[in-house]
Amino acid sequence: MLVVIAPEMVPSAWVLRRVRRRRLAVDVYEDYAKLAYDRQLGPGRRAAAVALVRLSTALTARADLTSVADAHVPPLHARRRLVVRNLPDLTTLPPPTDREPDPRAVYIGDVRRSRGLATMLTALEQAPEWTLDIVGPVAAADQSWLDEWRASSVAAARLRLHGRLAPARAWQIAAGAWVGLSLLDDTPAFREAVPSKLYEYAAVGLPSLATPLPRVVGLLGESGAGVVVNNAAAAAAEMREFAADPSRLDVLRGHALSWAESLTAGGSPYDEWAAEVARLVGE
């Protein structure tokens, strides 16, 4: 049985499947073709990336099992297609803790400007009561920009960069924070997406501050688990209000925890996927 989670590995896995007569399962986390336009690639590299994604998507549709993170994620049709939402694995997350005395925000994920890096740092500059922890690898294309910001910004001392960490260690840093940030740009890759960090923030008791991607607006509006902000200035204004009156934040925290509990009430979203893999192995 072969299980593939990266698009660039699908063609070679397909060949191996045919040669060794193995079953093949492919998990597709994002719309990779649209994601190519979120990256700072030259026209030639982008065209090559899109061509590879199209080949991988066509082969993925013919795999024995295709799991996608959301209904809109390609391939839209496959031999056996499962939608497996990226809900939190509670075994990797710490239990909710009381917030610390001083306001602190956290971001955990891929670190790049299209995923909100500049927006987060601008908000930090405008909310002087706050500190910010960022956990995740910084995109090479944005490293020099970040270095310049750290060398010149008045808020540089209030930023802590942790780099890439194992999931359990990353979420330990979230313990005690006041909010989780999800300030993604409205790019083709993100427009229809639901960032998995919204679910994870809620599970550890963190309300989200998020930009108005359509589905994020719907989820946070229905759940009350966070606040939608249009830009860095709006995010900073919310942060300053939280610092002045933390009781509003506590209400949002309660909504976040209730929402997280409802998401996992029906059991793990990965149970059906595991059952399908077990079935394929047994055939």
- CB count within 10 Å of CB 127 equals 24
In this structure, the answer to whether residues 102 and 59 fall within a common structural domain is: no
- 68 and 10, same structural domain? yes
CA separation for the pair 106, 179 (Å, rounded): 7
pLDDT of residue 52: 87
pLDDT of 193: 80
Pick the more confident residue, 134 or 19.
Answer: 134
pLDDT digit string (tens) for 216-255?
Answer: 999 999 999 999 999 999 999 999 999 999 999 999 999 9
Please say if the pLDDT value at position 80 is more than 90: yes
Q: Full-prediction pTM beyond 0.85?
A: no
Average pLDDT over residues 132-154: 96
Which of 225, 218, 250, 239 has its CA nearest to residue 88? 225
- Residues 133-137: what's their mean pLDDT? 97
Reported confidence tier of residue 263, pLDDT bands at 50, 70, 90: confident
Do 119 and 68 lie in one domain? The reply is no
210 membership: H or E segment, kind and range: strand 208-210
Q: Quick one: DSSP state of residue 42?
A: -
> Average pLDDT of 36-47?
68
* Domain identity same for 45 and 164: no
Same domain, 43 and 113: no
140-179 burial, b at 16+ Cβ within 10 Å, e below that, comes to eebeebbeebeeeeebeebbeeeeeeeeeebbebbbbbbb
Listed range (129-133, 158-162, 259-263) with the worst mean pLDDT: 259-263
Looking at residue 37, its pLDDT comes to: 66
Of 128, 125, 174, 134, whose CA–CA distance to 152 is shortest?
A: 125
Q: Determine the pLDDT at residue 269.
A: 73
> 3-state DSSP helix/strand/coil percent for the chain, to nearest 5?
50, 15, 35
- List of E strands, 69-121: 81-83, 104-108
Residue 73 and residue 114 in one domain: no
> Where residue 165 sits, what CATH number does that domain have?
3.40.50.2000
Half-sphere exposure of 79 (CA within 13 A, CB side): 15
- Bridge partners for 68 per DSSP: 28, 83
pLDDT digits (tens, 9 = 90+) for 92-132: 788 999 999 999 999 999 999 989 999 999 999 999 999 99
Are residues 178 and 227 located together in one domain of the fold?
yes
Say yes or no to pLDDT of 42 above 70. Answer: no
pLDDT band at 194 (very low <50, low <70, confident <90, very high): confident
- Tell me, what amino acid is at 260? A
Q: In the chain, what percentage of residues exceed pLDDT 70?
A: 96
The count of domains in the chain is: 2
Share of the chain above pLDDT 90, in %: 67
* Domain span at 38: 2-84+268-282
Assess whether 143 and 44 both reside in one domain: no
